[in-house]
Structure 1
């Protein structure tokens, strides 16, 4: 058993229609979309009791979830997802501009449910 856990659970709304990556055969290999979540702010975030928006970039490579995204997900669709955090560097003109953390839904131990 490992001492480390990399698990993200989110419930939110897809903000725009998902974009798909396809192979030459036409098979979809990945879906990418933005998920919006809200939570009640604490005393520091922006005002006590105010709702705070969160934006999460999601990349899905799980075949079962890809079919659900293709058939049932559009802008405004509410979903429950379990995924992992994955960091990637943004490089422009050979220079590192920053690091972004994506939520990935991989074939093992991850899931997406359309609500």
Structure 2
């Protein structure tokens, strides 16, 4: 039997990334992501909206760096990770559970869809350039005819 634990989300950040350091030298970056859906109520004709909030925990060093440098509150991001439930105790000793989307190792993905971070030079090695509005511009040299 094959089992798959994969979550794909596209939404807006509710806060700037929060990075915490562990005593063993590791790091975690926590993100709060909002996904919304809208519909028209059939009976009243009124526009309705529902927002779900998701806790994202990033343990991959490269993705933590991307989140720190490129993610800000309100930015649209695309996330792929695994759903994990974590048991913990609050300050009063009560048992609690948290559901998180976890990105660790090579099985997580973070794409910043709205990056307003200015760059001194392109870091894409000749591929499509991304301007400060997050729109793609084609680098014509990249698509030049091959010399053969």
TM-score, normalised relative to structure 2: 0.63
How far is 1:3 from its partner?
Answer: 1.4
Q: How far 1:55 sits from its partner (Å)? A: 0.1
Aligned residues: CA RMSD: 2.5
CA distance in 2 between partners of 1:111 and 1:78 (Å): 14
| Structure 2 residues without counterparts, runs of 5 or longer | 114-148
Please, which runs of 5 or more residues in structure 1 have no aligned partner?
none
* Larger proportion of strand: 1
**What residue in structure 2 maps to residue 94 of structure 1?**
93
Native 8 Å contact 1:82 1:105 kept in 2:
yes
For each residue in 1:21-74, what CA deviation from the matched residue of structure 2 results, as whole angstroms up to 9, or x when unmatched?
Answer: 1357xx77210021001124698xxx9962210100110011221111111111
- TM-score, normalized by length of structure 1? 0.80
Larger Rg: 2
Q: Which has the higher contact order (CA 8 A, sep 6+)?
A: 1
Describe the shift of the 1:41–1:8 C-alpha distance in structure 2 as closer, same or farther (beyond 3 A).
farther
- The structure-2 alpha-carbon separation of the partners of 1:28 and 1:73, relative to structure 1 and needing over 3 Å to count, comes to farther
Report the Cα distance in structure 1 between the residues aligned to 2:112 and 2:65, rounded to whole angstroms: 11
